[in-house]
Amino acid sequence: MAIRIVSDVGAPVAVVAVDLITEATAPTWNEWVAYIMTAGGYLGAVMGWGGDFSKNIGIASLPWAAKKLYDRVKGPVGTSRRLTYRQASVSRYPAPATKSPYEGVKLV
């Protein structure tokens, strides 16, 4: 079983090149390009279009798409899923200050 340069090496190199190019030029499209390349590669392999090159595009882009899907499910970095409670502070301004209870009491 020999290594075919175009289909076995060229497809992963093409996936990496597309990832780097879309990350640099259109970062909002990077995630969707990963999904399109994976689905297109596997669909092409099932339908018999593109031969081994198409199949290897789908195989090589699957980890990229899985990472993007994981990041989407996980949510944005730096956010917590835990709810926090913070007591609201109430300002008394412009109301007059009042004396606190038992302010003038002395213990003997």
Predicted local confidence at residue 81, as pLDDT: 58
pLDDT at res. 18 = 96
Per-residue DSSP letters for 16-52?
A: HHHHHHHHHH-TTTHHHHHHHHHHHHHHHHHHT-SHH
- pLDDT tens track, the chain, 108 positions: 788 888 899 999 999 999 999 999 999 999 999 999 999 999 999 999 988 999 999 999 999 999 999 998 987 766 555 656 666 666 666 666 677 777 778 887
